[in-house]
Amino acid sequence: MLSKKLANSLLILFIITSLGSCDFIRFKDAAVDVRKPVARAKGTLLYAEDLEGLVPSEVTGKDSLDRVNKFIQDWVKKQLLIQEASDQIDFEEAEIERKVLDYRYSLMGYEFQQYYIEQHLNTEISDDEIQEYYDQNIDNFGLKQNIVRGKFIKVPVEAPSTNRIKRLIQSNKVEDFDDLKAYCLSFATAYQLYDSVWMVFDDIVKGSPLSEIPNKVQFLRSKKYTESADDDFLYFLKIEEFRISDNISPLEFVRDQVRSIILNKRKVDLAKKLEDDVYQNALKNNEIEIYN
């Protein structure tokens, strides 16, 4: 198997020849620039050596050529844009260099922060922590939509024994739940059987006749069980509990959101700790001096 370096060299040679040049590279003098350009954008040239390392050794054939061609096309477009900008705007080179350095240092700092966070972040979050954050910030978890907790089943009109669904979906017996689950696995197009899960009501009934209900709040307050149908499907809905929009979200509905908030807060705290630690260490080692 070819080494990665040799493979890249052969790829570059192939690119050079495939771009229309049939000349051999002749090394006449060490001082002569024998680099072969592979593209030109106005006065700027892209050389074959600039493509080194672009294609991993495991990428070969058409995929490798496609990647190289895309890189060349992107390079040409960027160079043309840069040169057009230079023609249209009188840039201050010093200011551009300062911004480039600022960006470079910011990127380096960000990469180091991410590395530090990955090494030190504790991703374990207890139920008590989630509950505590939820209780302390409960006003931030207002509902934007109506949500329900219950069972929902959608089956084709030609499905067998659909008359059994009404009895099974309203039963609290374990054996009936198992029968209903087996039925749904065999015949249902969509279903949700675990009534401990909070769901957005509009998402459940989307595409069914229930989505056309004019007053959904009144419907939720008055209906615990309903059936509906269209030309192709039958719909069964049993509601155990509901919450109306603008009320407070139950914890279970926002548990993942709370978990993400706690994790993000830990990341921010770690980034701040890193910054403070680096600063304090520099002070301790007399590495900081500000001249007035």
| pLDDT tens, position by position, 145-154 | 999 999 999 9
Encode pLDDT of 257-271 as tens digits: 999 999 999 999 999
Summarize pLDDT for 99-147 with one digit per residue, the tens: 999 999 999 999 999 999 999 999 999 999 999 999 999 999 999 999 9
Mean pLDDT value across the chain: 87
Average pLDDT estimate for 271-276: 95
- Confidence at residue 14, expressed as pLDDT on a 0 to 100 scale: 46
pLDDT band at 31 (very low <50, low <70, confident <90, very high): low
How many residues would you count in the chain? 292
* Residue 190 β-bridge partners: 154
Task: Flag whether pLDDT at 9 surpasses 60.
Answer: no
**Would you call 197 helix, strand, or coil by DSSP?**
coil
Q: What is the pTM of this model?
A: 0.68
Whether residue 58 contacts residue 4, with contact meaning beta carbons closer than 8 Å, is answered with no
Confidence of residue 176 (pLDDT cuts 50, 70, 90): very high
Q: In this structure, are residues 96 and 82 in contact, taking their beta carbons and an 8 Å threshold?
A: no
CB distance 275 to 223 below 8 Å = no
* Weakest mean pLDDT among 11-25, 95-109, 197-211, 267-281: 11-25
DSSP label of 58? T
Mean pLDDT of 196-207: 92
Paired sense of beta strands 233-243 and 198-200, if any: unpaired
Res 3 pLDDT > 80: no
